[in-house]
Amino acid sequence: MTKLKLPFIREDLLNLSAYIPTPISENYQQLTRLDANESPYNLPLELKIKLASFYEEKIETNRYPDGSHLKLKNLIANYVNETVNLPQLIDNHNISMGNGSDELIRSILIATCLNNKGSVLVANPTFSMYGILAQSLGIITHTIARNDIDFSWNLDLANEVINNQNNPPVKVIFMVHPNSPTANVLNADEIKWLKNLPSDILVVIDEAYYEFSQQTLVSELPNHFNWLILRTFSKAFRLAAHRVGYAIASSDIIKILEKIRLPYNLPTFSQLATELVLENRDIILPSVKEVMKEKERVYQALIKNPLFKVWKSDANFIYLRLTNNPTSENHNYFMEQLKDNNIIIRHTGNGLRISIGTVAENDYLLSKITKITDKI
């Protein structure tokens, strides 16, 4: 097809590098998929059967979904309060639902920075969608490099960016706890720094992997009205196919996000699935311990391989780089060697990110890595 000129499209979008998920072909069942940080476990059969019955008994396909998400928000509030043993910490007025966290990130950017009202600060490597979504909205993103040793923020450099006479000024900082792809939680200095940031900056703390790290700053929200925490059901709760995320913040911030949110953003089936896993979290969440046990086993195996430099992980994935000549070409070569063996991992942040799979998947990965490294 002839490439057309599109004079009605913003020129800056022509150079936008989109987030490209790994294509899943028809033989996906033969693949060992260790690239997206999903849970390696499907829903238990008993819950899948119950969910299937919901479609027949509860869903009217000719009706729009519940746009209030009220029942779901109440269940989430109870869950969040339970995790920090603070029964009255939040309620449904402190929660906004998103079609994945991506929708919430986009709403945050629209609320704070659109029309040249603000800019964004991130530290790379990190989740690429912050920058991609900002660029798609014409919002400036300031990026600083993380410290190479432990991937913590270079706080002096961050302060320089914030204190510069930026036009527009920094209005949003995205922190990830633990970070993806590097799997490190925020350290004490970073948390102290966040607590002392100016109140005219929105601090977004992405806790997508909270259930694995068991580290959260949610109890700090009452003390910092300019903080917002993002969570997801795509990881530990095993609902990646349903795309459900949520934001926790002061009711004033939530009111703004609710103004921007599309009216029927969560399909009825996704809402019912999320309600089901929350009501059965005693069945769902014990698998987190299994995943983290496997993560430690894979980590111990990888650090014994001199080909790799491997970082300690507080999440359900491991980040590594080649020890010698860690170029993009060499990382791609290694990734393609695994792909030839039907194993998919992700090349990101100038390194390789490996999600933790089942015991069998991890055994297969380690066996193939051994054979590949013998050839390198």
Is pLDDT of 301 > 90?
yes
Alpha helices by DSSP H, listed for 137-206, are 155-163, 188-195
Q: At what angle do helices 359-373 and 287-303 cross, to 10 degrees?
A: 10
Q: How much is the pLDDT for 276?
A: 98
Is pLDDT of 373 > 80?
no
Map out the domains of the chain with their CATH numbers: 24-43+286-373 (3.90.1150.10), 59-283 (3.40.640.10)
- As a whole number, mean pLDDT of residues 235-262 equals 97
Percent of the chain with pLDDT over 90: 88
Q: Which residue is listed with tokens 């929200």?
A: 221
pLDDT tens, 315-350?
999 999 999 989 999 999 999 999 999 999 999 999
pTM of the model: 0.94
- Give dist(CA 177, CA 186) in Å, integer: 6
Cβ pair 309, 301 in contact under 8 A = no
Q: Are strands 245-249 and 317-322 parallel, antiparallel or unpaired?
A: unpaired
| Closest to 213 in 3D by CA, of 240, 195, 190, 231 | 231
Q: How much is the pLDDT for 375?
A: 63
Cβ pair 12, 135 in contact under 8 A = yes
pLDDT: which is higher, 52 or 1: 52
Q: How much is the pLDDT for 212?
A: 98
Is pLDDT of 29 > 70?
no
- Give dist(CA 86, CA 213) in Å, integer: 19
Cβ pair 174, 120 in contact under 8 A = yes
- Give dist(CA 102, CA 96) in Å, integer: 13
- As a whole number, mean pLDDT of residues 172-189 equals 98
The pair phi, psi for residue 39, each rounded to 5°, is: -70, 140
- Give dist(CA 324, CA 327) in Å, integer: 9
pLDDT tens, 134-145?
999 999 999 999
The pair phi, psi for residue 374, each rounded to 5°, is: -65, -25
- Report in angstroms the alpha-carbon separations of 246 from 98, 191, 309, 317: 6, 22, 34, 22
Token digits for 225? 């009205």
